[in-house]
Structure 1
């Protein structure tokens, strides 16, 4: 496979990883993955490595290589790996699992450096964009959102929006200021991530409630993610749709006739992306935030224009449901 400015990868239940020419909707490379289904994938920022999360192994592939074999296997989880994410410098990986742990891996050494014991099945995670903070945000089957200091393996704060209602997915805004979480009832919860460091008290971390809203009322949210410019929030759901949202703030005059003004936060629907005929499991934004790729149990992937909400292309070739997608089209 020749080096390309656009790397688009899909995988799922048919035991194949497919790489696509995004402009022509043609599959350029197929890698067999016979061990299990593929749950999630991530591409390194330099585009050269693809991390594949299965059950219970994580495998790394050379994107521009020709071998069907992984260049590295990371063994340690005891159950389905539910999420995988590279650090920006692609030296480390974070993974979460149904075995109730989060693991922090040294990619170059090929070894696990930290194990965070969660006590409940972990459904998703996100790494704070500022590596100096050394933070991971996770969500679990018991409905808990946690902020971890991974280096010291400690929980710095946590919230439980609705007890025993599973949080399926979490994301953190590119500026590191907002955390979003979506649950099994179609509800979204948005928190301000407040980090306060002082010589006297040390560092304190807080998840402050910001807004909540029904994104896919009564249906499971399968994935949430911010666009790279932070302007859009995407949600995927079991209702066969993905939706694009804009988080808004407006200044209003407080009630009571006074002159005091307050900031009112909200969530505005931008587009409902209706094309898939079964669950939409995952999505990925382009680096310029102008496009979104969605994947579904209907075996298809779709490319959307974010500004218009129109479907531009579809990608067909998988024999079973497509569970995950990874996209890296960054040019710098």
Structure 2
């Protein structure tokens, strides 16, 4: 423990940003011994128990925030918040019961569309990010008015996330900034500037770093203690990064862009620095990618797309289909070794590979390094197309045939763009929302639809899952 009371492993910021970490958290949820599932998903919570602790909140373009809340006795448990859009000139959020699919509450948001929803760690408040402000609503109250409004952005707010104890909040915006707010007073504490619209932002579990992605194709890591950008990643030049996600244990960073490509990095922390090492790159969808999300247990990666699907990819080396496929592939390669063919002399200059090495190094380039900063600011253009697949030996198991992560399931029942998704606390269930006006709750072990939330007049564009089974 440091002298000022701040744990030494947490990077400190201003007073409102200083806090103790909550420690290790069991992302599998509360222990439940009445488990009927077998095999790889046997450790997950049974459906009835899981649904008894969830509620869904979603938004539509009509301007409604809807709460779908499950009830056990008199206590609301699982709820899903879904935001939807309609022809009316108001916005609302709806609260639904996850088990029965009953809409228990609707919140009007008349000022603008809602781009993102986020629930505070204590499950008490819902943040709705709109055109140029974020409104905080009391989930358990019937008061339709926000308890506080955060104003300061000048364009659409695209991302929102909370400190682990809810003491501060971070937002990203198309105005090109990332802002940190004191949730107690609503005052602005930090302002970080990108050179393009910022499409998403997340908080590293160490509570001392922010990670944001922008429309120019950059992923940036911001150190709150030093108030500087420590890393700039350029996964694909001039290709907008639309979504970023960081693992709950801080081990992985993921980004997705508008071409449907996914980029995965390993984050290695020392006492005072974070190294970011490329792990793999692959095309998850052949159309616009709208969302990437790492599961709480860091065994799955969910991606949403304009191709009307959501996909769940494996990150676990013990995933049985991955182990079997890799074993069969190695056996086939042993029986049929590749035939070496003569390689023609390269036409490109000898120094071309050095350029690619420089580009690789910028994946882990501190911004203070002036030489690498020049490369990052003005990366050399390549005449050949960028590779769609790379991998690292210490990364998750890769499908040797498709050159992707192993695909666990494709959730293909939506009829239009899938905009957003949310995992349950035990990573066994996923909620998706789509322009087809539906929100769906999926059981990942089977790929089946468990519940379907309908009745929205317009498309559902963002969702939050209020899972009370998550340890607090």
Q: Same fold (TM over 0.5)?
A: yes
Q: Which has the higher helix share?
A: 2
1:178 maps to 252
- Larger CA deviation: 276-285 vs 203-212: 203-212
1:148 aligns with 2:222: yes
Bigger Rg, which one: 2
Match of 2:421 in 1: 283
Q: Which moved more, 1:98-107 or 1:313-322?
A: 313-322
Q: Equivalent residue of 2:302, what SS?
A: strand
Q: Deviations over 1:116-145 (max 9, x none)?
A: 1112110011101122xx101110000001
Q: Which residue of 2 aligns with 1:213?
A: 282
Q: Structure 2: 5+ residue runs without aligned partners? A: 1-68, 318-322, 338-392, 399-404
User: Are 1:65 and 2:141 matched, yes or no?
Assistant: yes
Matched, 1:304 2:426: no
Aligned-partner Cα distance in 2 for 1:66–1:112: 28
Aligned counterpart for 1:85 among listed residues 161, 177, 180: 161
Distance 1:318 1:3 in 2: 26
Equivalent in 263, 270, 278 of residue 189 of structure 1? 263
Checking the alignment, whether the CA contact within 8 Å between 2:262 and 2:283 is kept in structure 1 is yes
The structure where strand makes up a greater share of residues is 1
Distance 2:137 2:284 in 1: 35
Kindly tell me the number of residue pairs found equivalent between the two proteins.
318
**Equivalent in 66, 73, 78 of residue 6 of structure 1:** 78
Structure 1 residues 90-109: aligned runs within 5 Å: 90-109=166-185
Cα–Cα, structure 1 residues 285 and 248, in superposed 2: closer, same or farther, change >3 Å? closer
Which runs of structure 2 are paired with 1:256-267 in the superposition (5 Å)? 263=394, 265=396, 266=398, 267=405
Provide the rounded CA distance (Å) in 1 between the counterparts of 2:313 and 2:430.
Answer: 13
Name 1:269's counterpart in structure 2.
407
Task: Tell me the CA shift for residue 12 of structure 1.
Answer: 2.9
| Segments ≥4 residues shifted beyond 3 Å | 248-253, 262-265
1:106–1:308 Cα change, 3 Å: same
CA positional deviation for 1:310: 0.8
Quote the RMSD (CA, aligned, Å): 1.9
Distance 1:264 1:88 in 2: 28
Q: Distance in 1 between matches of 2:199 and 2:395?
A: 31
The residue aligned with 1:259 is: none
Task: Give, in whole Å, the separation in 1 of the partners of 2:434 and 2:160.
Answer: 19
Deviation at 1:150, TM superposition (A): 2.5
For structure 1, the residue ranges without an aligned partner over 5 or more in a row are 198-202, 257-261
1:95-125 deviation line (CA, Å, top 9, x unaligned) = 0000000011111121111111112110011
Q: Which 10-residue stretch deviates more, 311-320 or 92-101?
A: 311-320
1:297 Cα deviation from its structure 2 partner = 0.9
CA distance in 2 between counterparts of 1:56 and 1:119 reads 18
CA distance, structure 2, for counterparts of residue 9 and residue 40 of structure 1: 10
SS at match of 1:4: strand
1:127 maps to 2:192: no
Deviation at residue 214 of structure 1 after TM alignment = 1.0
Contact kept, 8 Å, 2:279 with 2:395, in 1: the verdict is no
Shift of the alpha carbon at 1:3? 4.1
User: TM-score of the superposition, structure 2-length normalised?
Assistant: 0.65
Aligned-residue offset at 1:194: 2.5
- Within 5 Å, give how 1:320-331 maps onto structure 2: 320-331=458-469
Larger relative contact order, structure 1 or 2 (CA cutoff 8 Å, min sep 6): 2
From the superposition, tell whether residues 264 and 4 of structure 1 become closer, same or farther in structure 2 (CA, over 3 Å): closer
Aligned to 2:37: none
Quick check: 76-85 or 112-121, which moved more? 112-121
Mapped partners of 1:330, 1:288: distance in 2: 11
Question: Offset at 1:207?
Answer: 2.0
Using the alignment, how far apart are the partners of 1:40 and 1:264 within structure 2?
30
